[in-house]
Amino acid sequence: MSEHIPRHLTLKHPLSTLSVIFGIWKAVLLLLALASPGPGYDTSTTLLDWPERYTLLSKLVRWDSIYFTQIAQHGHLFEQEWAWGTGITSVLAWGSRLLFATSSPSTWQITVSGLLLSHLTSWMSMMLVWLISAHLAVGTSDAKAQVAFVAALLYIVSPAGIFLSAPYSESLFAALNLLGFHLFLLGRNGHARGATARAALMTVCGGLASGLATAVRSNGILSGMLYGWDASLSLLALLDQGLRTQQVTRLLSLIVGGCAVGAGMMLPQYQGYVEYCTGHMESELRPWCKNTIPSIFTFVQSHYWNVGAFRYWTLSNLPLFLIAAPTLTVLLYSAYGCIRMKLTPPKLQAQAQHSDSVYLAVPQVVLAVLAITNYHVQIITRLSSGYPYWYLWLALTNVYGLSDARFLKIVVKWMVLYATIQAGLYASFLPPA
């Protein structure tokens, strides 16, 4: 893939080259969206308070972003609006107030803030994929540089497409989730080198980043698996080796980081509980308030959006499973390649066995399984943008020649084709979303 770009740009000026390609690709997607016929079968966006000169912006406020912009402007007015984390709407609200120096931002101001936020965090995500891939790649320095470059290049043309440009939650989630992964790996490696204090700081900061990601999108909670697993290993080491400052510090940092991830899920739930379940008469309480674990998110997702185990398994939804199939295939197959250690050439097997790759592969497997069984399956094409391993795996197979070169070309053609078609469909309020 990178063979078509001059080698000195990929090795000596990778970030500049990537940033230029990033800008061109984003411009293409925006032009496709703006050129779409719109408004599609749903005209709800046209009912918002758009000044005439800003009607082009309305093409980027579709599907869930209608909720995001309105919640950022007015707060939660209806129960069904608690289907999403409060992270994205809070950032949009505060960001537009600061950017436009107003206490009551309008729809177009929130939309502009959302566009800037999505492009900035999408660029940050690309950089983080580059950093994570450079950290995990094995081989010569040139090979590592090539792997990191190709992985970041693949992220640019992610099938998440226009969702990483519009005022949506995907881009912010991806940046925070990838940052959490990166800091966690830094902490894990720092601990292995004996840099106890720095490792503990990185681990806690990684948990905070993942907690913020979870406040944006609930699937960020999957990052908590990393902390739970390493905490279990640290506890076993303590029981086996006795109390050692390094192990105790490591365990405590993992517990704090894991609690931070959980807080990203629990705090929005607590906000909803206070609003709907306190200060009301018994007869006025919503049914979920009386549950053993009163979760407004779980109730709203199930009651209003029909999210639940195998609920999406209907014949009418078969086309959506077919749309999601390429992403699901790459997510599962790349993770399988990592777990079976068939990721690298034989001479690099020893290094690969001690890599941190499996820590990134496992959450994407769980995400893929949940998408198949519980979620609206088509959203996996955009959720996948927050998980870096499959980009790394595709880059490794390309640079090290581990698979037929046609395979990567097919995957890249699918990503580009899907993202470009999606941009036009999104702007016309047409599925899949």
Strand ranges (E), 70-121:
none
In the predicted structure, residue 391 carries a pLDDT above the cut 90: yes
3-state secondary structure of 400: coil
* 347 has a pLDDT exceeding 60: no
Q: Out of 296-305, 339-348, 361-370, pick the least confident.
A: 339-348
- pLDDT over 50 (residue 348): no
Residue 140 has a pLDDT of: 82
pLDDT exceeds cutoff 70 at 405: no
Mean pLDDT of 208-224: 97
- Tell whether the model's pLDDT for residue 233 goes beyond 70: yes
Judge whether 144 and 135 are in contact, CB under 8 Å: no
Tell me the pLDDT band of 85, cut-offs 50, 70 and 90: confident
Residue 313 to residues 160, 276, 299: CA-CA distances in angstroms? 23, 32, 20
Report which of 331, 349, 330 is spatially closest to residue 341, judged by C-alpha positions. Answer: 349
The more confidently predicted of residues 245 and 115 is: 115
CA distance between the termini of the chain: 28
Q: Are 143 and 400 in contact (CB under 8 A)?
A: yes
As a whole number of angstroms, the distance between CA 96 and CA 73 comes to 9
Q: Which residues, 6 or more positions from 116, have their beta carbon under 8 angstroms from its beta carbon?
A: 95, 99
What pLDDT score was predicted for residue 107? 92
Question: pTM above 0.85?
Answer: yes
Nearest to 117 by CA among 177, 172, 173, 58: 172
Q: What span, in angstroms and rounded, lies between the C-alpha atoms of 358 and 230?
A: 12
Give per-residue pLDDT as tens, 117-166.
999 999 999 999 999 999 998 778 888 899 999 999 999 999 999 999 99
Which value, to the nearest 10 degrees, does the dihedral of the CA atoms of residues 279, 283, 286, 287 take? Answer: 130
Average pLDDT for 102-130 = 96
Q: Which residues contact 185 (CB under 8 A, 6 or more apart)?
A: 132, 135, 136, 356, 359
- Count of alpha carbons within 13 angstroms of residue 141, beta-carbon side: 2
**Is the CB of residue 372 less than 8 Å from the CB of residue 314?**
no
pLDDT tens profile 264-282: 999 999 999 999 999 888 8
Let me know if 239 is exposed, middle or buried by CB neighbors in 10 A (0-12, 13-18, 19+): exposed
Spatial neighbors of 3 by CB under 8 A, at least 6 apart, are: none
> 207 falls in which pLDDT band (50, 70, 90)?
very high
Long-range contacts of 320-323 (CB under 8 A, 24+ apart): 320/376, 320/377, 320/378, 320/431, 320/432, 321/372, 321/377, 323/378, 323/381, 323/432
Instruction: State pLDDT tens for residues 14-55.
Output: 999 999 999 999 999 999 998 888 677 777 787 787 776 666
> For residue 4, is pLDDT > 70?
no
Q: What tokens appear for 313 in the block?
A: 């398994």
pLDDT at 353: 38
Name the average pLDDT for the chain: 90
Q: How many CB atoms lie within 10 A of CB 70?
A: 19
CA–CA separation, 195 and 192 (whole Å) = 8
CA–CA distance, 13 with 209 (Å, rounded to integer)? 28
Give per-residue pLDDT as tens, 49-72.
777 666 678 889 999 999 999 999
pLDDT of residue 397: 85
Residue 49: predicted pLDDT: 78
Quick one: pLDDT at residue 349? 44
8 A C-beta contact, residue 212 and residue 173: no
Which pLDDT score is estimated for 345?
A: 46
More confident residue, 404 or 62: 62
DSSP sequence for 342-386? -SS-GGGHHHHHTSSHHHHHHHHHHHHHHHHHTS-GGGHHHHGGG
The reported pLDDT for the residue numbered 350 is: 41
